A and B are shown apart, each in its own frame.
Chain A
Amino acid sequence: EIVLTQSPATLSLSPGERATLSCRASQSVDNYVAWYRQKPGQAPWLLIYDGSVRATGVPARFSGSGSGTDFTLTITSLEPEDFAVYYCQHRFTWPLTFGGGTKVEI
Chain B
Amino acid sequence: EAGVAQSPRYKIIEKRQSVAFWCNPISGHATLYWYQQILGQGPKLLIQFQNNGVVDDSQLPKDRFSAERLKGVDSTLKIQPAKLEDSAVYLCASRPNRGYNEQFFGPGTRLTVL
Chains A and B bind each other: no
By a beta-carbon cutoff of 8 Å, the part of chain B in contact with chain A is none
By a beta-carbon cutoff of 8 Å, the part of chain A in contact with chain B is none
